[in-house]
Structure 1
Amino acid sequence: MRVISGLWRWRGNPLCRASDLAEAWVALTALLLIVSVAPLIGVLVGGAAQGTLQRSVREQHESRHRVTATVVRALERSPLAVDPEGASGEDVRRRVLAAWTGPDGSRHEAAVLVAVDDPDGGDRFALWTDARGRAVARPLDSATATTHAVLAGTGTAVAAAASVEVARRIVVWRLVRRRYARLEREWERAGPDWGRTGAGS
């Protein structure tokens, strides 16, 4: 609003330089781009990311299968075994040797991480596998995909707004440099005769 009132105030003002008017128009254009175009770009990118991620969610849920595995025996405790997809990021997991039957009926036995405090032989837990029964990460859920899409859209909108502001600052910086260069040239012309009697003042 201040930019618009500034433009109106400069209208018809004899003290208004062309660079002042250009600077005001650049500021108004940047403001309009930040308010309208940057959010639109964010919405478009967020929508595209949402479509891609939701498609990935569907594909993962079709290709990954939840089976029940049985703990054969606990393996060494790993203090760094933390579930990165856990709600708090602090869901400690234990490494165990587990056995399970894949969706195709094949038998498997391998070391996996489980969210069980003190696993004993015979404990059962859910495990995600591919079609051949190999252990895989759990599929992405729809809510997490939506969160990622919102973050992508927001980040893009902020980046677009920042780019517009950087461009505005560069243009204003060049206008100010040109203004000072013109002022120096004028001063060099008037400087030697400044204050002298009969110098045309």
Structure 2
Amino acid sequence: MRAIKGLWRWRHNPLCRPTDLAEGWVALAALLLILTLAPLTGVLVGGAAQDALQRSVRDQHESRHRVTASVVRELERSAPAVEPEVVVVPERRSRVLARWTAPDGSEHREDVLTTLQDPAPGDRFRMWTDEGGRIVAGPLDPATATTHAVTAGVGAALLAAAVIEGVRRISVWRMVRRRHDRWGREWDRAGPDWGRTGTGS
């Protein structure tokens, strides 16, 4: 921002160096790019992610089915996995032998985990399967997909802004480095004669 203000301050100043104006213009260009390109990148990436995720949501809802299973008998109780850092109480699950009918009409009988507290033979619960009756995870929720898409868009916008700012900093650093190199060369030409007898100093 100082360099942008400097554009106005240095515009008619005879002490203005070309590098001062160059730094100001680089800063102004970077600011304009951050204000335009970064949001545009976020919108494009977020929109593409939203389309892909919502398409995945539709595909999952078409290929995964909610079926009702019946408890045949309870198996050994599954102890909840507890991690030392976890503060919340994990959900208790029971392992049962269950049977269900798949969407394609096939009968299945398998060990499954259920959230039933005290499962008894004949208790019923809902779960997700594919067309052939194999147990699968539930389909992605449309709202969750939208949240992921927004997160991707915001991340892309921030990344674009960071890249632009990084390019600005590198450009300014190179200009300052060249300016210091020129000062060093001028110092080498003028400096060795300073203070010597007969040099007019």
Taking the aligned partners of 1:90 and 1:12, their CA distance within structure 2 comes to 70
In the other structure, the counterpart of 1:97 is 97
1:131 Cα deviation after fit: 1.1
1:148 has 2:153 as partner: no
In the other structure, the counterpart of 1:85 is none
In the other structure, the counterpart of 2:136 is 136
Taking the aligned partners of 1:169 and 1:178, their CA distance within structure 2 comes to 14
Taking the aligned partners of 2:22 and 2:43, their CA distance within structure 1 comes to 31
In the other structure, the counterpart of 2:72 is 72
Mean Cα deviation higher: 160-169 or 5-14: 5-14
1:4 Cα deviation after fit: 3.4
In the other structure, the counterpart of 2:120 is 120
In the other structure, the counterpart of 1:42 is 42
Taking the aligned partners of 2:187 and 2:15, their CA distance within structure 1 comes to 18
- Classify 1:28/1:89 alpha carbon distance in 2 versus 1 (closer, same or farther; 3 Å): farther
- Classify 1:22/1:68 alpha carbon distance in 2 versus 1 (closer, same or farther; 3 Å): same
Taking the aligned partners of 1:93 and 1:7, their CA distance within structure 2 comes to 67
Aligned CA RMSD, in angstroms, stands at 2.3
Mean Cα deviation higher: 118-127 or 23-32: 118-127
Q: Which amino acid counterpart does residue 5 of structure 2 have in structure 1? A: S
1:59 Cα deviation after fit: 1.1
Taking the aligned partners of 1:146 and 1:75, their CA distance within structure 2 comes to 39
Secondary structure at the aligned position of 1:127 is classed as: strand
Taking the aligned partners of 1:7 and 1:95, their CA distance within structure 2 comes to 72
Secondary structure at the aligned position of 1:71 is classed as: strand
Secondary structure at the aligned position of 1:174 is classed as: helix
Assess if the C-alpha contact under 8 Å between 1:78 and 1:95 holds in 2: no
In the other structure, the counterpart of 1:57 is 57
1:176 Cα deviation after fit: 1.2
Name structure 2 gaps, 5 residues minimum.
Answer: none
The share of aligned pairs that are identical, in percent, is 68
Aligned pairs for 1:146-185 (under 5 A) are: 146-185=146-185
State the TM-score, normalizing by the size of structure 1.
0.87
In the other structure, the counterpart of 2:6 is 6
Taking the aligned partners of 1:200 and 1:15, their CA distance within structure 2 comes to 27
Q: Which amino acid counterpart does residue 80 of structure 1 have in structure 2? A: A
Encode CA deviations 1:7-59: one digit per residue, 9 max, x unaligned.
Answer: 11111222211111111111111111111110110011001110111111111
Assess if the C-alpha contact under 8 Å between 1:67 and 1:127 holds in 2: yes
- Classify 1:113/1:16 alpha carbon distance in 2 versus 1 (closer, same or farther; 3 Å): farther
State the TM-score, normalizing by the size of structure 2.
0.87
- Classify 1:199/1:75 alpha carbon distance in 2 versus 1 (closer, same or farther; 3 Å): farther
Secondary structure at the aligned position of 2:165 is classed as: helix
1:150 Cα deviation after fit: 0.4
Taking the aligned partners of 1:159 and 1:90, their CA distance within structure 2 comes to 36
1:196 Cα deviation after fit: 5.2
Q: Which amino acid counterpart does residue 139 of structure 1 have in structure 2? A: P
1:171 Cα deviation after fit: 1.0
Assess if the C-alpha contact under 8 Å between 2:4 and 2:27 holds in 1: no
